Structures are given as C-alpha cells and as structure tokens.
C-alpha cells in the first residue's frame, strides 16, 4: 500500500522530547517559545503565537477582531469545516463566496459583491499548499477597510510573489495536525506583524490572564504543550528540504500524467511557490472513469488517495440551515470541484518506484 500521507519522526525529535520528559516541565514553557521563534520566519512575521490546534488558532484570530452580533466574515465553502467552525465559535456570521478552478481559492472577482458594511474579515484558504490570489484579495480588503485572516493550515512555507503566506494579511493561522506538512500530532500557530494583536492572542490563549490570577478578559485554555513543541522544532529545520521532495514528486506526477484525457493536473500558477500539501487532480467528464470510480480502483491497486473535499460546506444541513451562515447564491465552481477533485500521494517519503507505480496504474486505468 502506498499511503496518501506518512509521518516520519527521527532522532532529533526523540532527543528533544526526551529533554522535555527529563525536565519535568510539560505545560507551555521554554520549548513552546522556541517553537514560536523558529516558526515566525516561515510566515515572514515578527510574531508567532502557538495554539493547541489549527482550529483554536483560527478561533483566537477571529476573537481578537472583537466581532459584534451580525458581523460577517467572507470565506470559501470549499475548505475543511474548521475554517467555518472557528468563525462561528467566535460569533461571526459566515458568508460563502465561490472559488476558482485553478487555485481552488476564493475568486477575488466575486468579493466586491459579497462585502458590505458588516464585513469584518476576508478569510482566504490556501488550499492544498498553494497561495490564494492574495494581491487581488488584499486590494479589495484594503479598499474596503476589511481585515484579512489567512487560513494557511495547509500551506507551511508557501509564497506568492515572494511573500510567505500567513504574513500577508493581518493574521495567518497554521495547523500541525498529524497529516500536515509540519506536525506535532495536534497543534497550531497564529502569525502576525502586529505586536498588540500578538499580546492579546497570548492572553486569550491562557484564560485572559496577564499574571497569576490577573484576568483581563475571559479567555480559553488553547495552549500547546512542551512535548508537542519538541516534536515540531526539528521538523521546521527540515521543512525546506521536505518541501523540495514534495515538489520533485509533484513534477514527476505532472509530467507522467500529461495527456491523459479527462485528467487535469495541478496548475502551478506564476509567482506562487506551491508546497504540495496535497497533489490534487481533477477528473472531468472526458475521463474514462468518474472520480469515485478512479478513487476506488486506485485503492484496489494499493494506492492511497483522498477526496478533499467531497461536498461544498454550503451543502451540509448543519451549515445551510445555520442562522449565522449565509449561502443564498449557488456556487457552481465549488460544487463541480467537489465532484472532480482527488489527491494522490506526494509526500516526501515516496520512493521513485512508488511514483512510477502510481503513474503506471493511472495510465492503465485511464490511458
Ligand atoms: C487542518 C485544517 C484546519 C484545522 O486544523 P486542526 O489542527 O485540525 O484543528 C483548518 N483549516 C484547514 C484548511 C485545514 O486544512
């Protein structure tokens, strides 16, 4: 079986985890601080605030916007539910806007019609490891005085026109869940250049407590542990090299899959450094098999694949019927992407033979 993702931790992680175990300090301390300091450069920001997950990082980011009832955030319906769950948790009303079929991110040309006097944030999701169209999104946000919170949970180290994701908008949110390009098992990070926001994110992360029992506002316990930080630090040191391996695998897949009718390989857009969290193809009507048939045929041949995501969030009853989710418009691109997309293994531990096998099986099935 060739798995869709793989976690490999080495001697450096073991060493650092042991150091934590022997120190007796398990709750957030020096190691978390060290993890934050090492992470900030990947987003190109001055500050990085660790959290217990990508979801809680997003909740913190939305909370510091001080949303009032009725205040809206605009985001994509073609994302992991955490983007929306976090916004709802922080009191936002969520307005969905359709995406593009080349980068799977928010379609900036639809934003002007979607924003209004209640819009407080635009939340682009850098899906699969490629940046959304940030120059266009930032231009609309800035001309309307709206904040941008980047969901960079799938895009550690990705950039657009030389700017790292997570450092372009007011805040960026990252995840270190098991399958992400950097993992701590569970974990997250908020990045920002705003020192006041960073201070407030830190406060809210730990019950709103400035010093022992000095509470400034009601907060949470969203802290990361020292053990998790110890697993994350060595991976940051090797992130660039691992991303290069993902890119090499992606290039080989794209070359090998060229010309197969009905199979659209990922578009590497000009100026965007894709970090290939997922290598996602589209299976269109011209294909010999539809997407679901291809997924099960590949799995029968021992090739793990995934569908991210099988439905637009706008189509789930729990969101469609939610009083704070606005989905009045049809979103044709998100809907067709949900029918067409599937992800193939691209992780750094694929061997050259693994890639050859993936290509051979797809050629046999669709060529
Ligand atoms: C993984 C992910 C999250 C949530 O991160 P967790 O660490 O699982 O809470 C949010 N948004 C997107 C796009 C993700 O892929």
Tell me if 151 CB under 6 Å of ligand 1. yes
Tell me if 174 CB under 6 Å of ligand 1. no
Q: Helices in 155-270 by DSSP H: which ranges?
A: 195-205, 226-237, 239-257
Report the separation in Å between the CA atom of 222 and the middle of ligand 1, taken as the mean of its atom positions: 15
Tell me if 125 CB under 6 Å of ligand 1. yes
Say if CB 164 and CB 130 are below 8 A apart. no
Model pLDDT, residue 330: 84
Model pLDDT, residue 173: 99
Contacts of 59 (CB under 8 A, 6+ apart): 86, 89, 90, 220, 222
Tell me if 83 CB under 6 Å of ligand 1. yes
Ligand 1 atom nearest residue 86's Cα = 10
Report the separation in Å between the CA atom of 248 and the middle of ligand 1, taken as the mean of its atom positions: 25
Each residue's pLDDT tens digit, 224-271: 999 999 999 999 999 999 999 999 999 999 999 999 999 999 998 999
What whole-number distance in Å separates Cα of residue 367 and Cα of residue 364? 6
Tell me if 153 CB under 6 Å of ligand 1. yes
Report the separation in Å between the CA atom of 288 and the middle of ligand 1, taken as the mean of its atom positions: 33
Q: What is the number of alpha carbons within 13 Å of residue 173 lying toward its C-beta?
A: 28
Tell me if 82 CB under 6 Å of ligand 1. yes
Report the separation in Å between the CA atom of 89 and the middle of ligand 1, taken as the mean of its atom positions: 15
Whose CA is closest to atom 5 on ligand 1? 54
- Cis check for the bond before 205: say yes or no (omega within 30 of 0): no
Tell me if 177 CB under 6 Å of ligand 1. yes
Report the separation in Å between the CA atom of 16 and the middle of ligand 1, taken as the mean of its atom positions: 25
- Tokens representing residue 318 in the block: 């729990």
Tell me if 146 CB under 6 Å of ligand 1. no
Contacts of 191 (CB under 8 A, 6+ apart): 39, 40, 43, 45, 47, 48, 49, 152, 166, 167, 171, 172, 173, 174
Report the separation in Å between the CA atom of 258 and the middle of ligand 1, taken as the mean of its atom positions: 31
Model pLDDT, residue 329: 67
pLDDT under 50: residue ranges of the chain? none
Say if CB 74 and CB 140 are below 8 A apart. no
Whose CA is closest to atom 6 on ligand 1? 54
Say if CB 152 and CB 174 are below 8 A apart. yes
What whole-number distance in Å separates Cα of residue 133 and Cα of residue 135? 6
Report the separation in Å between the CA atom of 177 and the middle of ligand 1, taken as the mean of its atom positions: 7
Tell me if 78 CB under 6 Å of ligand 1. no
The CA angle 241-37-272, to the nearest 5 degrees, is 45
207: left (phi over 0), alpha (psi -120 to 50) or beta: left
């Amino acid at each position: 079986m060739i798995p869709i993702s793989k976690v490999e931790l080495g001697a450096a992680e073991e060493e650092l985890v042991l150091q934590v175990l022997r120190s007796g300090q398990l709750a957030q301390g020096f190691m978390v601080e060290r993890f934050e300091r090492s992470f900030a450069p990947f987003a190109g920001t001055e500050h990085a605030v660790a959290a217990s997950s990508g979801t809680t990082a997003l909740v913190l980011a939305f909370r510091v916007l001080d949303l009032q009832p009725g205040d809206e955030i605009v985001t994509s319906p073609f994302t992991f539910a955490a983007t929306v769950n976090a916004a709802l948790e922080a009191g936002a009303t969520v307005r969905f806007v359709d995406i593009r079929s080349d980068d799977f991110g928010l379609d900036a040309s639809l934003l002007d019609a979607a924003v209004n006097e209640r819009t407080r944030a635009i939340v682009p999701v850098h899906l699969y490891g490629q940046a959304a169209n940030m120059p266009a999104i930032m231009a609309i946000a800035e001309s309307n005085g709206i904040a941008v919170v980047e969901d960079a949970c799938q895009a550690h180290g990705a950039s657009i026109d030389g700017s790292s994701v997570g450092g372009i908008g007011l805040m960026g949110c990252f995840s270190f869940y098991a399958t992400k390009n950097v993992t701590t098992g569970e974990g997250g990070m908020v990045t920002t250049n705003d020192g006041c926001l960073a201070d407030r994110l830190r406060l809210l992360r730990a019950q709103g407590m400035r010093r022992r029992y000095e509470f400034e506002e009601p907060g949470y316990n969203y802290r990361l542990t020292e053990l998790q930080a110890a697993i994350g630090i060595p991976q940051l040191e090797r992130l660039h090299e691992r991303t290069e391996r993902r890119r090499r695998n992606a290039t080989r897949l794209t070359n090998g899959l060229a010309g197969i009718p009905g199979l659209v390989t990922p578009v590497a857009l000009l100026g965007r450094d894709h970090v290939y969290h997922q290598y996602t193809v589209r299976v269109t009507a011209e294909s010999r098999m539809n997407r679901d048939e291809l997924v099960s045929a590949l799995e029968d041949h021992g090739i793990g694949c995934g569908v991210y995501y099988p439905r637009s969030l706008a189509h789930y009853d729990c969101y469609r019927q939610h009083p704070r989710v606005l989905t009045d418009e049809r979103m044709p691109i998100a809907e067709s992407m949900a029918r067409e997309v599937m992800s193939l293994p691209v992780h750094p531990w694929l061997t050259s033979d693994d890639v050859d096998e993936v290509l051979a099986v797809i050629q046999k099935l669709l060529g």
